Structures are given as structure tokens and as C-alpha cells.
Amino acid sequence: MAFSSSRLVLKAISRTVNSGRQFSSFKSSSRYLLKSSEECQTPRTLSRSMWNLCTGSRRSSTGNRGDGTLGPLACGVTRVSRPSKTCSCGCKGACLHTEADSDLVNFLKEEIEVEQDSLTNVPKVPGFEVTVNDADIKLTRDIEAERITVRFNINHSVEMEGGAEEGQEEAAPEMRSYPDFNVEVSKGGANSLRISCAYQRDDVLDDQEVDAEPDDDELFLIDEVLFAKEGASTDTLEGAYRVGSEVMNGDLYDHLKNYLAERGINKDFCEKLSDLSSAVEHRQYIGFLNQLQGFVKK
């Protein structure tokens, strides 16, 4: 009996000591969190700014919730809304749907409407058959025993141009696509001639201090020339010898430009290729916006 009483006394003392430790630990943790919050206010400014955009007027400027407790703004903690089990998509909480998701969906809806208002038809390139595969575009034509193939990719090809000149009203800038393109000339043999070309841009002309408007020869440039075997893989092409325009004989360069011009790769072709690339890129962009909207709403 005495032993049992001693155990009861020891147990009570142990609980008291443990409670004191927990309280002390809780106080230390609280002080640490408050100190960390104060020290981390400056680095977390960007996170707060992003959170502010999502919450807007749903909270007071002081960060108080109104019930005497501190909200996320006052604590420096970003809060993610819990998924609603009654959301309109019917996922029943299977996916994370936050206020940021809703804001993004609403923005995408407006952006899609604006972009569709300026959507144009995809133009044709006379004399060439056009094949579009996502961001890759291929143009082909046959001239007697030769097959001319032009390949390019629309990714990272869009530039902003236009605007008002001095003394004119300000105009909205136009988005145009100027992709690098490869011209392949095949004569049915084992090898084909490949010429890599790029558009001559205004900034390059400015660097060269060219005052005149670009003529046919200046609208596009030859970057490099190489021979490639039919059906050669990308790895094989990487190891192929190529001649860059910076080390090419000037007369050879001019002859190659004439060689391309006689096969339809000239100023008119480059203008139509830019029109085609711009139209396809715009459609791909709208498709991306629709896909993103569907993904976020899912």
C-alpha cells in the first residue's frame, strides 16, 4: 500500500514537471517563431506581394481578422486556401482549387477573348505545300528533279515591332514572328545541301550603320552551309562539317544567295514565311491559353 501511494505521488510530480517543460518549450517555440517572423519580414516581401494580389480587400490593412487574432499579413505567413468540396467542377476536393486558381481562370478567359478578336487566317505560301506539326513547320516544293524543303520552328521567334513614328499618333505594337529557317535541296542522291538562314533585323543593320532600306539581299542572311546524308539523325548533323558565313568567301556567299533566289527563296518568300509563322504562332498561343485554362479548372 505504501508502495502504491509512493507511485501515485511520483506520478503526480512527474506530470507537474512534464507540464512545466511543455509550457517552457511552448514559450521558447513561440518566442522563436515571433523572432523569426520579425527577422524574415524583408526577404519575404515578394511573397507577401504575391499574396496581396490574391487576397485583395478580403482582409484589413493591418492584417487583423477581426476576432482579435493576427491574420497572415501580420504574421508574415502565406496562406493557401483549402480546396472547396462544393466547387463547381465536381471534384469534391480531389484537386487543389484556391482563390489564385479562380483569378487565373478569369484572367485567361478575358485574354482568350482578346486574342481571338485579332485572329487571322493562316496564309498560303505560293508554290509550296505547308505542313504544320505543333511548333514545327515544313514547306516543300518540287522543281524538275529537285525537291526544296524549308523547315523552321516558331518557338522564341516573336518580336514586337511597329509603334508610332515622330509626329504620328501612337499605334499598338505588332507581334511578328521571324524564325530562323533551313533550306534543304535534294537531288535524289545520298546527300542533300542544307543552308541555314536567318532574318536580317533592324538592330543588326543599325550595328552595321546601314542607312538604306534593306534590299532583297539584306532581308535574310546565310548563317552556314553543310552537306547531310538523307535521313541523317540530329546527332549525325551535329558532327557534320559546316562552313559559316563569317569565314566564307564573299563571292561564294553571293552565288549561294542567287542559288536560293532561283529556287524561290527570295524577299517575297521571306515576307510570306513571316506571315505564315506569325499566324501559326498566334493560333498556337491561343491553343496554349485554352489548354492552360482547362488544366487549372480541372
Where, residue-wise, is CATH 3.10.280.10 in the chain? 129-288
| In the chain, beta strands by DSSP E | 129-133, 136-143, 146-153, 158-161, 174-177, 181-186, 191-199, 220-229, 242-244
Q: What is the pLDDT of residue 239?
A: 85
Give the span between the Cα atoms of 92 and 85, in whole angstroms. 4
Per-residue model confidence as pLDDT tens digits over 50-95 = 434 444 444 444 444 444 444 444 444 445 555 554 465 666 666 7
Q: What would the grid cell of residue 83 be? A: 480546396
Give the span between the Cα atoms of 136 and 206, in whole angstroms. 31
CATH superfamily of 129-288: Mitochondrial glycoprotein (3.10.280.10)
The better pLDDT of the pair 91, 248 is held by 248
Q: What is the pLDDT of residue 298?
A: 86
Element (H, E) at 15: helix 2-39
Q: What is the reported pTM?
A: 0.65
Q: What is the pLDDT of residue 161?
A: 81
Per-residue model confidence as pLDDT tens digits over 259-294 = 999 999 999 999 999 999 999 999 999 999 999 999
CB 245 within 8 A of CB 221: yes
CB 277 within 8 A of CB 135: no
Q: What is the pLDDT of residue 6?
A: 43
